[in-house]
């Protein structure tokens, strides 16, 4: 809870948490922390020093972002104990807590991952579903925000074939369900029949709003809330293939892709770091910024099944965004690739807390 008198006047306001700081314990390895920090520094050092970015209701400069990351690098390098780290953070940083989705500090954390799918460079009865690159007639409304004018809907593209025959196909997938989950994740690996693996990444959207198909099935009573996960949705479409077109079309948003040599990339052009990269609403949170999260993470058994969720905390970096990630109360945590990442990302839907760190003025 915020201290007395500090309740934010609007949901986009942050609370200054000093002196009630969280315990800055980090459950991941130092190598991943160093890697994610370096990637944020690469981005921040390219910025104009006077370029301004949001942090709640305030604005911070590109110079402040660089100084924050460099100061954190120094603190981590010199702090030999958890107590020393805590003292270094307290002395050198402002710590700002997001008000969350309810102005009580509760943030909904979900997960995403780099999906792995089978595909082909040519269509066939096994691979009939196209994955499209960005159409040349898709127009940016605001290039700096990546926003586009409303283009054909999912129903028009997949159901009516509006893009068919235009040479826009990058790959061919097994079915529209695979394609849909690739659209949701934003990046993926395509394994070709000869064993080669190609990577693709988000290039553009059709400009239509995202609508959750999970919400559709929940409201219609077709899937219970306890089964609402990526894995539960896959099972539903496997068991009810006749529902695929109708349900997927309820989400009019459509994603176009581009091939990439390395990945997965976030929207800043940085390679994401598992467990360290988050996606936020970058109208409120500084891109590349340093944050600290208190979350729940899964406990997996030897079969890769989730048996429990336990508290965890760590430093993370704002490397990405997403159409469903809006407001101060929604964060997506990147889990990496592989079966464990898919399991964790598919089931993560827990509340936690989010703090951003800014270097204090000298």
Instruction: Name which of 117-121, 268-272, 279-283, 302-306 the model is least confident about.
Output: 302-306
Same domain, 241 and 280: no
For residue 11, pLDDT over 80 is answered with no
Instruction: Write the CATH number for 80.
Output: 2.40.40.10
Instruction: Write the CATH number for 223.
Output: 2.40.240.50
Same domain, 290 and 232: no
Closest CA to 97 of 270, 360, 292: 292
Same domain, 275 and 242: no
CB atoms closer than 10 angstroms to residue 142: 8
Sort strands 197-205 and 255-260 into parallel, antiparallel or unpaired.
antiparallel
Residue 3 located in a structural domain: no
Q: Name the percent of the chain lying above pLDDT 90.
A: 73
pLDDT grade for 18, boundaries at 50, 70 and 90:
low
The mean per-residue pLDDT over the stretch 122-127 comes to: 96
Same domain, 97 and 119: no
Rounded to whole angstroms, what are the CA distances from 346 to 72, 167, 202, 211, 298?
32, 33, 19, 17, 11
Same domain, 93 and 130: no
Q: What is the DSSP letter of 66?
A: H
Same domain, 242 and 124: yes
In sequence order, what are the residues at sequence separation of 6 or more whose Cβ sits closer than 8 angstroms to the Cβ of residue 346?
Answer: 111, 229, 230, 231
User: Strand runs (DSSP E) across 105-209, as ranges?
Assistant: 107-120, 129-132, 140-142, 147-148, 169-173, 187-191, 197-205
For residue 245, pLDDT over 90 is answered with yes
Residue 194 located in a structural domain: yes
Residue 2 located in a structural domain: no
Computed on alpha carbons and rounded to an integer, the radius of gyration of the chain in Å comes to 21
The mean per-residue pLDDT over the stretch 104-131 comes to: 95
Same domain, 124 and 139: yes
Tell me: the pLDDT tens digits for 275-327? 999 999 999 999 999 999 999 999 988 888 889 999 999 999 999 998 889 99
Residue 305 located in a structural domain: yes
Residue 88 located in a structural domain: yes
Same domain, 286 and 249: no
Q: Which residue range is the domain that position 285 belongs to?
A: 15-109+267-359
For residue 211, pLDDT over 50 is answered with yes
For residues 344 and 110, the answer to whether their CB atoms sit within 8 Å is no
Same domain, 87 and 224: no
Q: What is the pTM of this model?
A: 0.82
Backbone angles phi, psi at 216, to 5 degrees: -60, -50
Q: What is the DSSP letter of 286?
A: -
Torsion of CA 294, 298, 299, 303, to 10 degrees: -160
Q: How far apart are CA 275 and CA 340, in angstroms?
A: 12
Residue 119 located in a structural domain: yes
Name the domain count of the chain: 2
In the listed set 229, 260, 291, which residue is the last one of a domain according to the structure?
A: 260
Same domain, 318 and 229: no
Q: How far apart are CA 30 and CA 47, in angstroms?
A: 26
């Amino acid at each position: 809870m915020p201290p007395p008198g500090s309740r934010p006047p609007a949901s986009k306001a942050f609370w200054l948490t000093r002196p009630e700081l969280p315990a800055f314990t980090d459950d991941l390895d130092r190598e991943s922390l160093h890697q994610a920090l370096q990637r944020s520094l690469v981005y921040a050092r390219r910025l104009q020093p006077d370029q301004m970015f949001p942090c709640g209701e305030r604005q911070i400069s590109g110079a402040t972002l660089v100084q924050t990351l460099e100061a954190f690098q120094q603190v981590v390098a010199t702090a030999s104990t958890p107590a020393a780290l805590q003292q270094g953070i307290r002395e050198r940083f402002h710590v700002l807590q997001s008000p969350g989705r309810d102005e009580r500090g509760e943030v909904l954390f979900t997960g995403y991952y780099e999906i792995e799918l089978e595909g082909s460079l040519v269509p066939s009865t096994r691979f009939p579903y196209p994955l499209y690159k960005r159409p040349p007639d898709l127009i940016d409304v605001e290039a700096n925000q990546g926003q586009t004018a409303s283009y054909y809907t999912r129903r028009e593209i997949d159901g009516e074939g509006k893009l068919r025959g235009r040479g826009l196909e990058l790959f061919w997938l097994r079915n529209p369900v695979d394609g849909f989950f690739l659209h949701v994740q934003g990046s993926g690996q395509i394994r070709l029949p000869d064993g080669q693996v190609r990577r693709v990444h988000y290039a553009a959207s059709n400009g239509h709003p995202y609508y959750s198909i999970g919400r559709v099935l929940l409201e219609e009573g077709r899937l219970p809330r306890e089964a609402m996960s990526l894995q539960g949705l896959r099972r539903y479409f496997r068991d009810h293939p006749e529902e695929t077109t109708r349900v997927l079309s309820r989400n009019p948003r459509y994603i176009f892709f581009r091939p990439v040599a390395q990945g997965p990339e976030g929207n800043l052009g940085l390679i994401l770091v598992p467990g360290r990269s988050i996606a936020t609403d970058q109208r409120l949170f500084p891109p590349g910024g340093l944050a600290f999260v208190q979350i729940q993470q899964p406990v997996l058994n030897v079969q890769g099944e989730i048996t429990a969720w336990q508290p965890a905390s760590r430093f993370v970096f704002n490397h990405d965004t997403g159409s469903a990630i809006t407001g101060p109360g929604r964060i997506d945590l990147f889990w990496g690739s592989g079966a464990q990442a898919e399991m964790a990302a598919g089931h993560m839907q827990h509340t936690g807390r989010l703090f951003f760190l800014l270097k204090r003025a000298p």
